[in-house]
Amino acid sequence: MHKKLFIPGPVEVAPEILEAMAMPLVGHRMKEYAVLHGRVKDGLKRLMKTDGRVFLSTSSAFGIMEGAIRNLVGRRCANFCNGAFSDKWHDVTKRCGKEADLSRSSGDRP
């Protein structure tokens, strides 16, 4: 029996995982990466039942938000905030140098 410890470490690592980790890395400019990227995108399209475009990003959610704002907002936008996630959108909008009108529904925190 193997003990499962949910701690930062040290923890037991299965031999097959160690073997996989010993393999050479796939660089983002290599043909193998292009093939892998295509398989992942096709799988996501099937999972989400879409024929539309799927975008993958190695950034944090903040990076996706920044990319969306910088590429889709001209000069000004409206941010409708009713929680932490939408508050973050407003914060990122302002940090990207865009004018942003903040609107909160009644009863929401200031």
Same domain, 72 and 105: yes
In a domain, 10, yes or no: no
Q: How far apart are CA 36 and CA 41, in angstroms?
A: 9
- Same structural domain, 64 and 51: no
Does this model's pTM top 0.75? no
Q: Give the domain range for residue 95.
A: 59-110
Q: Do residues 52 and 63 share a domain? A: no
In a domain, 107, yes or no: yes
Question: CA 40, CA 34: separation in Å to the nearest integer?
Answer: 10
Question: Considering its fold, how many domains does the chain have in total?
Answer: 2
- Per-residue pLDDT of the chain (110 residues), as tens digits, is 677 778 887 878 899 999 999 999 999 899 999 999 999 999 999 999 999 999 888 888 889 999 999 999 999 999 999 989 989 999 999 999 999 999 987 655 55
Q: Do 36 and 71 fall within a single domain? A: no
Q: Are strands 99-104 and 76-81 parallel, antiparallel or unpaired?
A: parallel
Structure tokens at 6: 């949910």
